[in-house]
A and B are shown apart, each in its own frame.
Chain A
């Protein structure tokens, strides 16, 4: 057990020595990986922020239920009963046709025109708040209420929120695609780095093989190198994003004073941060494994 630990400890030490032996190359590699990773991770963060903002704006999406023009009082009241009994409805408010006309008269400055109308052209309406404000639930509620007798039309006031949601979903898909592409790029970068290392250490590899090193022993420092390089790239990406968030919040200082909660740009959550370190590390490990396996086989066949 101690032997196992000291072997792995030595491998880590060897790996760090390898980084130190080619400092410029190592730093450049890590920067490239970090910048490449910060792209999808940053976009992911922007989308995440937009999503929560859109949810915030759309917290109280309202549904307007317009009655038929010729619906009478009892028919309008029957809809009120249905609304009261409907488990999906949070609350509702009647806006009577007289009330609506009154508001129109006052708010539009068209008092004279309104007065000159031979009769009230507006229907009775209910403004309904749903318990569940997800787009699907709102749509279902709308479809249900549209079926009710004497209901002429149901209007979703939060349609824009749904559209934004759809756009963000698409953007998320694009970011995921970008993430996959960059994961492949990270594999390729690691593959190539390790290829060069194996080739420059060819003599060493041949000698230690001759004196009894197992393949696992030979592979280990390269795998650590790939994994550490990936993690370091992830760390760089994390720093870039955190710096970016800090800058945004700093420059939005005044705005965020006014709209306190709305414009505070959230940084990466703890779990996201951990993933940002671990996934590149894992990819680096895989890239190194593929590379070292292939190139050791090439050396052995010579």
Chain B
């Protein structure tokens, strides 16, 4: 359960990225956040995962006020999320397997349990045959899928994806769409920020539209 009320975000430079946003996302929902470039989609996702803090208003995730969280509690909040970043944020000095294992390693999983889950996640995104490769040798779309594998490997309650089909061709975009639907079907709350009209048409999710930082109805 995610609830935002009267959320505004002004960046240190003075730019007002979000203005008086309020909505709720039920557990198990699939929601798209859409809007033009610069509308504040990424900013909104960052507020949910406590990567940025709201200037005013409250962001509540599972009963916790994210904006007021103590620094020590932030890592544990983030473990509830699987994050797919717009710029991937892969580690290029680690191979595919090690990149996906990262969240499990952080959470202290035993080695063989971790290996089992990593292979399952890689299998889901179709990258199992690349487990020993380094991310630099993967195409843009493959890197995107690697990022998704890393986001789901620890079976988070929420999946937050920022432009997850940004660099995928239509066929893979469809597959990724189905993938998100399958996560959603097993109870994961999925929040996707995207421009992708085809993806939206295929998944027919609930849509939250942003226009220059404000809710557009």
Contacts and interface: CB of A to CB of B under 8 A. Distances in A.
Interface of A: 2-4, 6-7, 10, 203-204, 206-215, 217
Nearest 8 Cβ contacts at the A-B interface: A212-B78, A212-B79, A3-B108, A214-B75, A213-B106, A212-B75, A207-B89, A7-B108
B89 A210 contact: yes
Interface string B11-27: 00000000000000000
Given A204-B91, A210-B78, A211-B150, A2 B110 contact: yes
B129 interface: no
A207 B103 contact: no
A217 B91 contact: no
A7 to B, nearest CB: 5
Given A203-B91, A211-B102, A212-B107, 12 more contacts: A4-B108, A206-B89, A207-B89, A207-B102, A210-B49, A210-B78, A210-B83, A212-B75, A214-B76, A215-B72, A215-B75, A217-B75
Interface of B: 49, 51, 71-72, 75-76, 78-79, 83, 85, 89-91, 93, 102-103, 105-111, 150
A154 to B, nearest CB: 72
Nearest to B103: A211
9 contacts: A4-B108, A6-B110, A10-B105, A204-B91, A207-B89, A211-B106, A212-B78, A212-B107, A213-B106
Q: B75, B76, B105 — which one has the most chain A CB atoms within 10 A of its CB?
A: B75
B151 to A, nearest CB: 8
A6 B111 contact: yes
Nearest to B46: A210
A214 B71 CA distance: 9
Contacts of B105: 10
Contacts of B107: 212
A207 B90 CA distance: 8
A209 B76 CA distance: 11
Contacts of B75: 209, 212-215, 217
A2 B110 CA distance: 8
Nearest to A203: B91
B87 to A, nearest CB: 11
Contacts of B79: 212
A3 B106 CA distance: 11
Contacts of A203: 91
Nearest to A7: B108
Contacts of B71: 215
A69 B77 CA distance: 97
Given A210-B78, A210-B83, A217 B106 contact: yes
A197 to B, nearest CB: 13
A128 B19 CA distance: 99
B108 A212 contact: no
Given A3-B108, A6-B108, A6-B110, A207 B91 contact: yes
B214 to A, nearest CB: 27
